[in-house]
Structure 1
Amino acid sequence: MARERQLELVHLLRAVTVDFDLAAGRFAARNGLHATDLRALIALLDAGRAGVPATPGRLGRELGLRSASTTALLDRLEGLGHIRRERDPGDRRRVLLTVDENAIALGEAFFGSLIDGVIAAAGELDDVGIATVRRFLLSVRDVARDHADGEHPSDPGEIRG
């Protein structure tokens, strides 16, 4: 019985992921962005919130892109006015990436009601519930990252029929 309840969580997470992905796809399509463009903007915003300097190399590693693909991505986002490249004042050899305020406003206009809805849902939880959900989501994120990095026991390519 416990496994059935746990599998239900897996299926609910998958459904949430699909719904978030569909919303992201609509936003990207409306704004002339590729899926990778949107992932890049999210990664840059996350870096800013975490106080981590966003550089082209870091972004490329995070998105799994080679240098030339990262450059093309940044050229595209800069051309659309969504990011700025600026020299690091502490190391003029290094380029820092910043998401433009207009791109942030565009994202807030589209995703604001979604964010508000998630905040309202979280508002129904007490501090212990929030802490439990947070621990669970961080663990799930780590499992997903490990899987994406190839740290999983079986690979569909290895399955023989």
Structure 2
Amino acid sequence: MEIVHLLRAVAVELGLHSARFASLNGMHPTDVRALIALMDASRAGQDMTAGRLGALLGLNSAGTTALVDRLERLAHVRRVRDGRDRRRVLVEVDERAVELGQEFFGPLIGQAVELLKGYDERELAAVRGFLDGVRKAAADQGRPTASG
């Protein structure tokens, strides 16, 4: 249980760090989660529609529209027509938002990377397996069951 409690403490601290970033930049914590989702999709070479973004964040259509509008007003995202299907509108993160995030989160990411350099491949595989397993378990807890 000690490791589970440490993981919970890490999650709380990361949430607080993210909330500080949101507050400093006139955003809601959900805005930060949206930017992370957009950057992750971009890194993976995946398109992101507003509908897909809303589904990832657990937002309804109106909430998603308000979120994208808010981020667009802050110049953190832009809506663009899909080059392959002009009927589809994609949401893309602006490079300035990426730079803003790197400026704030970069030192923490750098410290985490430095910590990981102290682990061998076997240990890294164990850490990776544990974190991915917890992530999947948390995602499964949010999914409706067959009975309801």
Normalising TM by the smaller chain, what interval? over 0.9
Aligned residues: 145
Describe the superposition over 1:20-42 as per-residue Cα deviations: whole angstroms up to 9, x where unpaired.
Answer: 01100100000000011111101
State the partner residue of 2:127.
Answer: 133
Of residues 132, 139, 142 in structure 2, which corresponds to 1:145?
139
Residues 1:75 and 2:72 are matched in the alignment: no
Whole-angstrom distance in 1 between the partners of 2:107 and 2:61:
36
Q: SS in structure 1 opposite 2:88?
A: strand
Structure 1 counterpart of 2:127, which letter?
V
Deviation at residue 129 of structure 1 after TM alignment: 1.0
Structure 1 counterpart of 2:114, one-letter code? A
**Structure with more relative contact order (C-alpha pairs < 8 Å, separation 6 or more):** 2
SS in 1 for 2:87: strand
| Superposed structure 1 runs of 4+ greater than 4 Å apart | none
Corresponding residue for residue 43 of structure 1: 37
Distance 1:51 1:89 in 2: 14
Q: Which residue of 1 aligns with 2:25?
A: 31
The 5 Å alignment of 1:1-161 reads: 7-150=1-144
Letter aligned with residue 102 of structure 2: E
Q: Distance in 2 between matches of 1:25 and 1:88?
A: 32
Partner Cα separation in structure 2 for residue 96 and residue 45 of structure 1: 13
Local SS of the residue matching 1:84 = strand
Cα distance in structure 1, aligned partners of 2:68 and 2:36:
13
Q: Secondary structure of 2:27's partner?
A: coil
The percentage of counterpart residues that share the same residue type is 55
Give 1:150 deviation, angstroms: 4.7
- Per the alignment, in what secondary structure is the counterpart of residue 93 of structure 1? coil
State the alpha-carbon separation in 1 of the partners of residues 78 and 121 from structure 2. 38
Normalising by structure 1, we get a TM-score of: 0.87
What are the ranges of 5 or more consecutive residues in structure 2 without an aligned counterpart?
A: none
Q: TM-score, structure 2 length as denominator?
A: 0.95
